[in-house]
Amino acid sequence: MKTMIFTTFLLLSSLLLAEEPLSKTELRRATQHYQRLMESAHPLPDMQYFKNQSIPSIMAPKSKSIFFKNVNTIDDETQEVFRMQNESSIAVNPTNPLNLIASAVDYRATSSTWVYVSSDGGHSWKDQNLGKPFPNWRASNDPSVYFATDGTGYMCYGGFGEFVDSFAVSVGENGVFIAKTTDEGKTWKAHIPVIVHRGVQTLDSTFEDKYYVQVDNSPASPYFGHLYIPWKRVTPRDSATQIVMSKSTDKGETWSPPKFISERLAGSSEDTTFGQSFPLITTGPLGEVYLVWNHGIEHGVGFAKSLDGGDTWTSPRIIHHYNIFGTTRLIKGQGYRHTVKEKVRAEAYPVVICDNIESSDKKGNLYLCWAADNIPNIYFSRSLDGGDTWSEPVIVHSDTTNDQFWPWMSIDPLSGDLAIMYFDSRNDAANLMVECYVSYSADGGISWSDRRAADQMSDLRLNPFSNNAFAGDYSGCAFYDGYVYPTWVDMRSAVLDLSDSDVFTAIINTQAPLPVENFAATILPEEPTSLSLKWENPAVKSFGQTLNSEDYNLVLFRNGEYAHTLPGGTSEFKDTLLAPYQKFDYEIFAVAGNDSSLARELTSYSGGSKEPGTPQILASKGAADYELTLKVRVPDKRADEVTVLSNLKSLSLYRDNEFIKKIDLQLQDTGKIIEISDETAREGFYEYIVSANDLAGNEGFKSARFIAYSGEINYFSEKVENFDSPVLPKYYIKGEWLPTDEISVSNPKSFAIAPRSNYKDNEDDTLMIFPFVTNNLDYFVSFYHAAILATNDYATVEYSTDGEQWSNDFSGRIARWNKSDYPAWQDKELNELDWKLEEYQLPQTNDTLLLRWRFHSNQLITDKGWYLDDIKLSNKSVSVNSQKTAVEFVVYPNPAAEYIKIRIGQSSPDISYKLVSTLGETISQGGAKGDAFGEFVLNLTKISAGSYYLIILNNENIIQRNSIMVVR
């Protein structure tokens, strides 16, 4: 009994000691270490880049010739703020090759666990959110997918706790998890723990990173069906890295404690290469387990193997050393890292696979690839003796001009053919843009041929992470029954929105003929029921294999339906018995047995297009009587821009989306520039469109919209717009501009973007007042405004002399604002204190001047809006000029409710003020010193409604007297 009590006491004591809280210093150090590890493993977007997208946008051009269909694995993202995906993996179900699963690091739903499923061979995808293992975790780290031979699909991924504050209880929480499906991805059992660390982690706890699941799919293996997951373990205390591995023998339900495979290297996780990292396992035909990793300290490929199902391992060794990868640069928050494309972090991660085909003469062969060199290349080596010796490395791509990096290798389990996907910059002289390429070998890696897989280039710098340095660390590739499915991070959408990268795949049939090239149609005007089609035939299959004309046929589709089959080698065809003047969409495929090329497509019109061509409005001129004249170029071709327009009848004129009239023309008017007059009701801007009509009654496509001013453009002395009139002049207004009585300088109204509600995202709204001429004299524009806009939005005033080139630079003063430019705009209240007076001197010119107020919003965050009032054009400045004898001070708003402002000017003399009632009683008085904006704010909240005099004094001398009205 005493022994039991004593034992219980010792157990309770040890638990109490174990739960003794860390010191603040120790906790702070642990927090900093784990934050750095998590940011390195799963960087968070840097919102500064949403405010200022500093990367020059290189439009992602289409690749010169598209060989394979590209598919986005990411479906609807419209409700998501962050739409980034990277670090992808993909697998094919051996029991149903039309069923594929994929995954990626996915920032949707605050970095939840996402899996992508295809049931039609990769042609379409449906994304599923599997949630998170625990609340307030991120759980899409380093995902990988794999299928077992029975069709069970597995996805491995990591997760870790968010930091609520500097001393959050979840400091350092992290773990590795597995999800599984037995019904082709329809349903999933998720968040099965492989290893989990909960609660406050210390400097001696571990952070698990870079994991990849593998299944032993060899039927002859005594460990058939076993699952293996290796990963990199980091210990913050001494910055150690070590490669470890866990195993499951019950289809992923339970997992063994991790075994240590490599040596533990202190001080290595902060190395340029992240130390020992990215371990991958493959299994052999008799259950051998082979493991490789990037030994960054040695700049080599680490290797170890097990012959007893992962229980014991050979001593780790380096099987290949390599030249240092990429260019070493300092990345903010991460230290020195290897990079490509001037700033994107990248590394030389190896991939290993084994040929397990029972009938293959290459059974048991090990294949290895990795990236290396300052200008990176993809290297390949193989072992024929279980990894004891390895062949000399060879480069697998035919062009070494620029960068090739991020390889992933796969093997076709039915044929033993090899495929390696990678990023390649050979087609960009600047070595910035990348395309996914695939190298293919049908002889165990002795020879290789390569082909571009992507149909569009990407700029990996277009990512929203700190210094645009993170686009992922790896890609994916699956290979089954002759079809290769590479996956890669694709930036075609990020050109317009840094928060929108995707994961694409390509459907590559290695045995199919290449597509035909230069597919074209010739219109036969004299035979409107026929079209002449021509093309160039393929000479080889997808990866250069021999293709004879008798090996394939050409299959032609018209308007989505089968039309003709032609013998291989045929290079032209006359399609007859067509309906005249109709549009026809053609597709042509090269087909060899069951293998089909990508389609080549074209659109043409029998006898030419049905519709006449499109007119073009070139210029306009207004007059004092509001009669407006348009200059219009009449089309001379039909809409296909090939066939002569031989039956022209008239033009149709539309004003502000309403039909106005038809203008009859002669046949010989085609190609001419004519004038069209229109009588408008009043001065203002009008939107015009024209279209052409032919004798057969066909109306062509409408022209581009043309903004024309109706009225005479005059020299002016002074103009004021206070937006208080019930009917505003017909200014050019685009977007959400509306009058509002929420707030004003001159009662009762101002003009605002989306009053009484937050403005919309992705807006580009414009207010343009009537044009004018200044005759080379000094003129000024002033206005009051409140630009309560998100910091990545802007409001601006711009001028132009031709309506095409606009500038917001007024003699070195840039007119552009959001709420960060003025303290009063940064609170959450809309009141008179928000009004700010602006004034700009207009450029001296004899040309017509256009002025517009333009607002632009981003795609993420919105705010209150932009308010305008009292726009004034004058030859007299409202600015305070202390050099003048009579100093004028601007007082606004008037009437006022809670505040009134005195625009003092930073160079004005010291002044004071008195607020005096109409009976002469002093209500308030004091000194008036301008703030950084040259304004003094007088608080009126304790002043009764009524009329007052605001007297401005200098050394007790009255220098200005203003009548003001206080309203409630």
Of 175-184, 424-433, 775-784, 923-932, which gets the smallest average pLDDT? 923-932
Query: Does position 952 have pLDDT exceeding 70, yes or no?
Result: yes
State the average pLDDT for the chain: 90
Confidence tier at 76 by pLDDT (50, 70, 90): confident
Tokens 């290798």 belong to: 409
Q: Is pLDDT of 167 > 60?
A: no
Confidence of residue 8 (pLDDT cuts 50, 70, 90): very low
The stretch 955-965 carries a mean pLDDT of 76
Output the pLDDT for position 256.
Answer: 98
Interval 207-226 mean pLDDT: 97
851 burial type by CB count under 10 A (0-12 exposed, 13-18 middle, 19+ buried): buried
- The residue among 824 and 592 whose pLDDT is bigger is 592
Contact 840, 797 (CB under 8 A): yes
* pLDDT, position 931: 64
pLDDT at position 61: 61
Place of tokens 């899996």: 115
DSSP letter (8 states) at residue 669: G
Mean of the pLDDT values across residues 352-366? 97
pLDDT in tens, 250-290: 999 999 999 999 999 999 998 888 999 999 999 999 999 99
Question: Confidence class of residue 862 from pLDDT cuts 50, 70 and 90?
Answer: confident
CB 157 within 8 A of CB 179: yes
Mark 161-194 as b/e (b = at least 16 C-beta within 10 Å): bebeeeebebbbbbbbbbbbbeebbeebebbbeb
User: Are 210 and 278 in contact, with CB atoms under 8 Å apart?
Assistant: yes
Give me the residue label for tokens 């802007």.
Answer: 794
pLDDT at 2: 36
Exposed, middle or buried by CB within 10 Å (0-12, 13-18, 19+), for 582?
Answer: middle
Q: Token pair for residue 586?
A: 């053609």
What is the end-to-end Cα distance of the chain in Å, rounded? Answer: 84
Return the minimum-mean-pLDDT range out of 286-300, 432-446, 674-688, 754-768.
Answer: 754-768
Share of the chain above pLDDT 90, in %: 69
Of 40 and 236, more confident: 236
Query: Which residue from 795, 786, 784, 785 is spatially nearest to 857, judged by alpha carbons?
Result: 795
| 5 has pLDDT over 60 | no
Strand partners, 193: 177
Cβ–Cβ < 8 Å for 133, 188: no
For 823, which DSSP code?
G
Q: Does residue 165 register a pLDDT over 80?
A: no
On the question of pLDDT at 882 being above 50, the answer is no
Report the pLDDT value the prediction gives residue 909, as an integer from 0 to 100: 59
pLDDT level of residue 514 (50, 70, 90 thresholds):
very high
Looking at residue 20, its pLDDT comes to 53
**pLDDT score for 422:** 98
Percent of the chain with pLDDT strictly greater than 70: 93
Distance CA(788)–CA(884), nearest Å, equals 34
Lowest mean per-residue pLDDT among 211-225, 493-507, 552-566, 881-895: 881-895
Tell me how far apart the alpha carbons of residues 801 and 772 are, in angstroms, rounded to a whole number.
10
Give the pLDDT mean for 767-787: 92
| pLDDT of res. 916 | 85
**Which of 168-172, 201-205, 951-955 has the weakest average pLDDT?**
168-172
Q: Which residue has the tokens 């046929």?
A: 553
Q: What is the pLDDT of residues 597-647, one digit of tens each?
A: 999 999 998 988 889 999 999 999 999 999 999 999 999 999 988 888 989
> Does pLDDT of 11 surpass 80?
no
Pairing label, strands 764-768, 850-856: antiparallel
- The beta strands (E) that lie in 668-754 are given as 673-679, 684-694, 706-710, 718-721, 732-734, 737-740, 750-753
Q: How sure is the predictor about 9, in pLDDT bands with cuts at 50, 70 and 90?
A: very low
Contact 672, 635 (CB under 8 A): no
What amino acid is encoded at 235 in this protein?
Answer: T
Give every strand in the sheet of 100-106, ordered side by side.
Answer: 85-92, 100-106, 114-118, 126-129
- Predicted confidence (pLDDT) per residue in 748-772, tens digit: 999 999 999 999 988 999 999 999 9
Contacts of 194 (CB under 8 A, 6+ apart): 156, 175, 176, 177, 178, 211, 229, 246, 248, 255
> Do residues 46 and 53 lie in contact, with contact meaning Cβ atoms separated by under 8 Å?
no
Radius of gyration of the chain (CA): 36
Rounded distance between C-alpha atoms, residue 553 and residue 798, angstroms: 61
Q: pLDDT for 336-351, tens place per residue?
A: 899 999 999 999 999 9
Does residue 16 carry a pLDDT above 50? no
Fill in the amino acid letter for 126.
Answer: K
Average of per-residue pLDDT across 301-320: 98
What is the C-alpha to C-alpha distance for residues 929 and 840, in angstroms, rounded to an integer? 23
**DSSP designation for 346:** -
CB atoms within 10 A of CB 662: 13
pLDDT of amino acid 674: 97
Distances (CA, A) of 897 to 34, 590, 747, 923, 935: 53, 78, 11, 16, 18
d(CA 266, CA 724): 74
For 720-754, the pLDDT digits (tens) are: 999 999 999 999 999 999 999 999 988 899 999 99
- The pair of three-digit structure tokens given for residue 107, joined into one six-digit string: 């920032």
